[in-house]
Amino acid sequence: MVLNTGAPPVLSVSDLVKRYRTGTVANDGISFSLHPGEIYGLLGPNGAGKTTLVRQVLGVLRPTAGTITLAGRDVVADPGFARKNVGFLPQGQFDLLTLRVGELIEFSARLRGMDPRSARVRRDELIGQLDLGQFASTSMHAASGGVRRLAGFAAAIAAPARLLVLDEPTNDVDPIRRQLLWNSMGELGEQGATVLLVTHNLAEAERFIDRLAIIDGGRIVREGTPGSLRSLVTDKLRLETAFRGDVSLHPALIAESMAPGRYLFEQRDLSAVSAWLSAAREAGLLADFRIGPPTLDDIYAAVVAPPRELEAAS
């Protein structure tokens, strides 16, 4: 992708605070910038404040304090500018579900200002690109979750936008079409589009994200490139296991990662852990295992849910 860190940021969020009337502070001093052509990941558990942040960037929620500028324009003062210049894929349902797939793409382009003829051309282009041809006349309501998600993605990128905000774009999408979606996003990046990507699919996003922020409790708790964040756990290795019975875990397994059966341990304990795994396998207690470098999942788990000591696993 075409990253231009010297150019003025496309999106700049500074000291953003959102306090709801109930007193809940959903965003508590968030600052970050997106450079032209950058794909910026936003990770965090449910309730971390991601959706609140996105709604403010989109101009549908007014911040309590702080600034948001899009291409140099203050979108808190001028939310209409955000609506004209941001393509958006919401996470949940949106009110076009009874349109047909092709119509959703076409009308999204039209409502974003494209003339009818260009909107039809763009619709056909995206249907081809995302392999949605057989679903073009299918009602969104009747389409599978994956096709619906993909059509929503196509709708979000149908008209040119300075910034794309995509909330969990690959949810429910099958592996083949998911690759098409990432390819399409890569192409947009090549063309200089800037993407704010909210995701939980860390392993997948790691291959495409330029930088990411981990958000928790309304604050950015870590920010950097996937590589720089991986350095948080460089002295560790990841172990994935599938046990057949109750097994006393090796004391060197100091942290449990996001998924069951996944652990972190210090690199210096590799021999001890290997010996323990061999013994478990010989005893018929271990069906499968894999050791590798930590992924974004592990970093995320380490940052959001601090490691805890383990007692036993089965």
Partner 1 sequence: MTPIRQYVDLLSVQLRSMRDELWFVAILQLALSLGLVLGMGYLIPDVSEVTAMYLVTGTATQAFVTVGLVMLPQNLSQARAQGRMEYFLTLPISREAYLLSLVTVVAVMALPGVAFSLAFGAWHYGFSLSYDPMFLVVMVLAVFSLAGVGVAMAVYIPHQQATNAATQLIIFYVLFFSPVILPSSQLPELLQQTAKAAPPTYAADAVRATITDLPDTSLTKDIAVMGGFAVGSIALSAFAIRRRG
> Which residues lie near partner 1 (CB under 8 A)?
20, 55, 58-62, 79-80, 83-84, 86, 88, 90, 92-100, 103, 107-108, 110-113, 139, 141
Q: Are 95 and 108 spatial neighbours (Cβ–Cβ below 8 Å)?
A: no
Could you tell me the two tokens for 139?
A: 């009602």
Indicate the residue among 71 and 97 with the shorter CB distance to partner 1: 97
Nearer to partner 1, 167 or 297 (CB): 167
Q: What CA–CA distance (Å, rounded) separates 118 from 261?
A: 51
CA distance 65 to 13: 11
Q: C-beta of 156: minimal distance to partner 1 in Å?
A: 10
Contact 44, 217 (CB under 8 A): no
At which residue do the structure tokens 């210096």 appear? 268
Question: What tokens appear for 111 in the block?
Answer: 């409502």
Q: How far apart are the C-alpha atoms of 83 and 92, rounded to whole Å?
A: 19
34 or 99, CB closer to partner 1?
99
Shortest CB 42 distance to partner 1, Å: 17
Judged by beta carbon, residue 88 or residue 300, the one nearer partner 1 is 88
Minimum distance from CB of 103 to partner 1 (Å)?
A: 6
- Choice between 198 and 286, CB closer to partner 1: 198
Q: How near is the Cβ of 76 to partner 1 at its closest, in Å?
A: 9
Going by C-alpha positions, the residue among 195, 210, 200 that lies closest to residue 48 is 200
How far is 185 from 176, CA to CA, in rounded Å?
A: 14
What's the closest the beta carbon of residue 215 comes to partner 1, in angstroms? 19
